[in-house]
Amino acid sequence: MAIQNFSPALPTPAVPAPCPKASPGYGKRSVPDQLPPRDDDFACLPERERYIAGYVDTLPEGAAMNIKSLAKCQPLYGQMAVGSALRALGVAGHLRQARCAVGDGDNLRWVTRTFWSRTARDNEWWNTFLTAEARHHLPEPVTTSATPPPPWVPAEPATSAAAPEKPDTPAPGPVVPPQRTGQPQPATPVDPSPAYLALTRLGPADRRLGLSQDDCRELEELAAEWFARGADADYFLHTLTAGLPATVDSPLGFVRKRLITKLPPRQPATPAPAPPGTPTPRLMVECTDCGAPGQAEAFRDGLCAPCRQPIQGSDAGPAPAEDPCIERDIQAHVKRLREQLKLR
């Protein structure tokens, strides 16, 4: 007698819920020049990454791409697994995250966008695309043009360069040289430099450092170096008069020695401010793991340098840095990704 098998059939997988639309400015952005979809688009990825990639690829433009929304809308993986899968898809060359400035003036706000590519891309392609995208978001320079006068304003008569000069002004007479006298002409007064004035204040501040006019002229160049390094008159006076001995036999030699030995250090050069009208960056790439922003060139495989350290220090080991051809190979990225997933 045949025995019937009453075991239930395998449950059918649940259908993913519709993914919500992201807030204006956020969400998924598909990159251009992608290959048409195929059944084996993500065949080289592990099962979890293959499922998340296929689900993200079916989402419409502007769909929410945060971890919480993706974990809520598909039934197989939670937030931790979705976060790890997005990080792996960034390493495989399928996505990059970036902060974009939306609006202008007081209405300026930063939004996070996820750029998605069904076709795996290498780091050079992503850097070129994100650099062009950042340039596209820069505000266009405002060009001003001369406003023509209203029609009721009479036009100015054109002047000819070859027109003769009108003899309205009398011709200049002969130049009479000044008569020389026996008395010497007074010298043109020259404003003393801050260094010279600071040296003249040493004597009134402390009689032991009284300098003559010639002494001040002789030490003026050494004192000027103090002011070139950011010292002011009060600092200069306090430093040179502090801790004086009971007697100073030669004020000139004593001040010269202190000007040399107590010379303040050079101030570090401050970066020059950006000229007015320089546009500020309006797109910054985000690390797929920690979310740290930066320039596109600072990221590799969608990760910043600190987040790449665990991968580079693992047993599997990355591709040799001195071989750029291997680093650009997407298959090498996927192989390294698989090795990392086996270690978990």
Least confident piece of the model among 9-23, 45-59, 172-186, 287-301: 172-186
Alpha-carbon gap, residue 248 to 241, rounded angstroms: 12
Same domain, 116 and 216: no
Same domain, 36 and 131: yes
Residue 95 phi, psi dihedral angles, 5° rounding: -150, 155
Largest CA distance in the chain: 150
What would the mean pLDDT of 174-195 be, rounded to a whole number?
A: 61
Count other C-beta atoms under 10 Å from residue 141's C-beta. 7
- Tell me if 214 is assigned to some domain: yes
Same domain, 31 and 132: yes
Same domain, 291 and 241: no
> What pLDDT band is residue 225 in, cutting at 50, 70 and 90?
very high
* pTM exceeds 0.85 for this model: no
Residue 308 phi, psi dihedral angles, 5° rounding: -85, -15
> What pLDDT band is residue 313 in, cutting at 50, 70 and 90?
very low
What would the mean pLDDT of 232-239 be, rounded to a whole number?
A: 89
The share of the chain scoring above pLDDT 90, in percent, equals: 27
Same domain, 293 and 325: yes
Domain count within the chain: 2
The share of the chain scoring above pLDDT 70, in percent, equals: 63
Q: Which of 229, 261, 293 is the last residue of a domain?
A: 261
Q: Which of 228, 261, 294 is the last residue of a domain?
A: 261
3-state secondary structure the chain: CCCCCCCCCCCCCCCCCCCCECCCCCEEEECCCCCCCCCCCCCCCCHHHHHHHHHHHHCCCCECCCHHHHHHHCCCCCHHHHHHHHHHHHHCCCEEEEEEEECCHHHCEEEEEEEECCCCCCHHHHHHHHHHHHHHCCCCCCCCCCCCCCCCCCCCCCCCCCCCCCCCCCCCCCCCCCCCCCCCCCCCCCCCCHHHHHHHCHHHHCHHHCCCHHHHHHHHHHHHHHHHCCCCHHHHHHHHHCCCCCCCCCHHHHHHHHHHHCCCCCCCCCCCCCCCCCCCCCEEEECCCCCCEECHHHCECCECHHHHHHHHCCCCCCCCCCCHHHHCCHHHHHHHHHHHHHCC
Same domain, 311 and 251: no
- Tell me if 329 is assigned to some domain: yes
pLDDT at residue 189 greater than cutoff 70: no
Same domain, 132 and 32: yes
Classify strands 27-30 and 109-116 as parallel, antiparallel or unpaired.
parallel
At 296, which amino acid appears?
Answer: A
Least confident piece of the model among 35-39, 70-74, 125-129, 333-337: 333-337
> What pLDDT band is residue 320 in, cutting at 50, 70 and 90?
very low
Same domain, 295 and 220: no
Alpha-carbon gap, residue 236 to 197, rounded angstroms: 11
Same domain, 256 and 291: no
- Residues spanned by the domain of 255: 194-261
Q: What is the pLDDT of residues 9-49, one digit of tens each?
A: 344 345 566 777 888 778 899 998 888 888 888 988 999 99
Q: What is the pLDDT of residues 145-178, one digit of tens each?
A: 445 555 555 555 554 444 455 555 555 555 555 5
Same domain, 35 and 128: yes
- Tell me if 63 is assigned to some domain: yes
- Tell me if 52 is assigned to some domain: yes
Same domain, 36 and 119: yes
* pLDDT of amino acid 148: 54
- Tell me if 75 is assigned to some domain: yes
- Tell me if 219 is assigned to some domain: yes
What would the mean pLDDT of 226-246 be, rounded to a whole number?
A: 89
Same domain, 293 and 337: yes
- Tell me if 176 is assigned to some domain: no
- Tell me if 188 is assigned to some domain: no
Q: Which of 202, 227, 261 is the last residue of a domain?
A: 261
